[in-house]
Amino acid sequence: MKEQKVYSLQFAVYGFRLLLLGFLTLGSLGLFSQASSPYSRYGLGYVHSSVFSANKGMGEVAAAYASGVNINFANPASYASLTRTTIEIGMDIDGAKIHAKDSNYTATNAGINHFAIAFVPNPKRNNFAFSLGLLPYSHINYTFIQKYNDSALGPFRQVYTGKGSLYQAYAGGAYKVKGFSIGANLGFLFGKLDYEKTITFPDSIYAYSTRNITSMNVKSFVYTVGVQYQRLIFHSSNEPDARTDIFMTVGAYGSGGMKMQAKLSNYWDRITIDPNYGVITIDTAQATFNQKATVNLPFNVAAGVMFGNERFWMIGTDFKFMNWKNYSSPLHNAGLNDSWRISFGGQITPKYDEVDKKKYFSRVQYRAGAYFGKSEINFNGKSLNEVGGTIGLGFPFKTVAHLNLTGDFGSRGGSDKTVLRENYYRITFGFVLNDIWFIKRKYD
């Protein structure tokens, strides 16, 4: 028994070291997925989904998802259902085709999506667990040009660009008693968002170009709280296979609107653009640095229900709401509405305990889902519709690991030709490693 506990501790230490390595390398090198989107200029940019690889394959259903082997970061109450200490690394390949009247634009990016470890101190009791991780919170990545004509200076153009990301490092825990779980995540947001506006006069030698650069550095705390309740609603006394048991799980999670602390730097300068040396600064008309600012984040809440058994089949639905109308920032406050989304999804595993290697695909988890709702973005006075579908597969590797592969295909903007329309896809790879020290050994 002592040997088993030492093994478990070694596994946790290994996972923690790997997590620290992720903090130091992935965040500093900017290896997180950062898809290009003109809509990322709104609010804090494109806000990343808070669900991990298994949930993404089920239409992002997460409020009532309680797994023994997959980390569900979205609802921290789910940690208490984990039966194994678990490490997960996720990677995304994002692509989008953007339609704007008669022109199209295509973008593709790839990067790390999340990195997390969940530790189960006492798998036999299976009532407490905690988790640490690092994942992207939001990013901006856009460039667009508007052309004008001045009667005195001739044609000129305004170029808007934005780049940057916010990341979230978190620590969370959950406790379960008699089927009721409660949990919380405390996160630390950090990162930098850069916005630039340049006015150029390509046909005039007498007019200097001007440039305005604004940077927002963020360092602030956020939180999420969650609850789940699971109850056995069907058990066949004539069938010894536990896979026939049917559970009902209800869950909810959310966070209140928080005041996030930030620092702003802003300056205007006159520039000239040299074909050989690039941008050359002539002088700086105005500059301010590291001014304190406050960003009011929206509150969000999600609730859902799920039926089934992870060893056989599961099906569930979620509703999520975010109060973006209450969002405020020193930058880009306009163009936001309250957002909501309804999701459906499920998974099935034909033979969870199949031992015949020739029947490997009967142990694969097959997932599918769909979602629809309203985006927070208000473009030209119109709220944008969002709709999409997901498919997923969970490939097991013996009893120690599995690979979650998910495809998400959707559209934002609908068929209205007066708004930009995005057709997007996201391929997610989630590699999950599980500790197996609690499995009974043949020899001691």
- The pLDDT tens digits for 334-385 are 668 899 999 999 999 998 776 666 788 989 999 999 999 998 887 777 778 8
- In whole angstroms, how far apart are CA 120 and each of 8, 83, 87, 90? 9, 7, 11, 21
For the record, the structure tokens of 246 come out as 């049917």
* Dihedrals phi, psi of 147, to nearest 5 degrees: -105, 140
List all residues 6 or more positions away from 390 whose beta carbon is below 8 Å from its beta carbon. Answer: 56, 57, 58, 59, 60, 345, 367, 368, 369, 370, 371, 406, 407, 408, 409
pLDDT in tens, 182-196: 999 999 999 999 988
**For residue 258, which phi and psi values (nearest 5 degrees)?**
-110, 155
Q: What is the DSSP letter of 299?
A: P
pTM, rounded to two decimals: 0.85
> What is the 3-state composition of the chain as percent helix, strand, coil, each rounded to the nearest 5?
10, 60, 30
The full DSSP string for 265-321 is: EEEEEEEEEETTTEEEEEEEEEEEEEEEEEEEPPPEEEEEEEEEETTTEEEEEEEEE
Query: Do residues 193 and 161 lie in contact, with contact meaning Cβ atoms separated by under 8 Å?
Result: no
Q: Which of 85, 109, 94, 130 is closest to 30 using CA atoms?
A: 109
Q: Are 160 and 41 in contact (CB under 8 A)?
A: yes
How many whole angstroms separate alpha carbon 186 and alpha carbon 225?
Answer: 9
440 to 119, 301, 443: CA distances (angstroms) = 19, 41, 9
Is the distance from CB of 374 to CB of 384 less than 8 angstroms? yes
What tens digit of pLDDT does each residue of 265-319 get? 888 887 776 667 667 777 777 788 888 988 888 899 999 999 999 989 999 999 9
Structure confidence at residue 441 (pLDDT): 44
Percent of the chain exceeding pLDDT 70 equals: 82
Find out whether 233 and 84 touch, Cβ atoms under 8 Å. Answer: no
By mean pLDDT, which of 14-18, 112-116, 280-284, 372-376 is the weakest?
14-18
pLDDT category, 156, cuts 50, 70, 90?
A: confident
| Residue 129's pLDDT band (cuts 50, 70, 90) | very high
Residue 4 banded pLDDT, cuts 50, 70, 90: very low
pLDDT of 51 > 50? The answer is: yes
What pLDDT, on the 0 to 100 scale, is given for residue 117? 93
Q: What's the pLDDT at 182? A: 97
Say if CB 120 and CB 82 are below 8 A apart. yes
| Per-residue confidence (pLDDT) for residue 53, from 0 to 100 | 93
Q: Look at 11-25, 65-79, 408-422 and tell me which has the smallest mean pLDDT.
A: 11-25
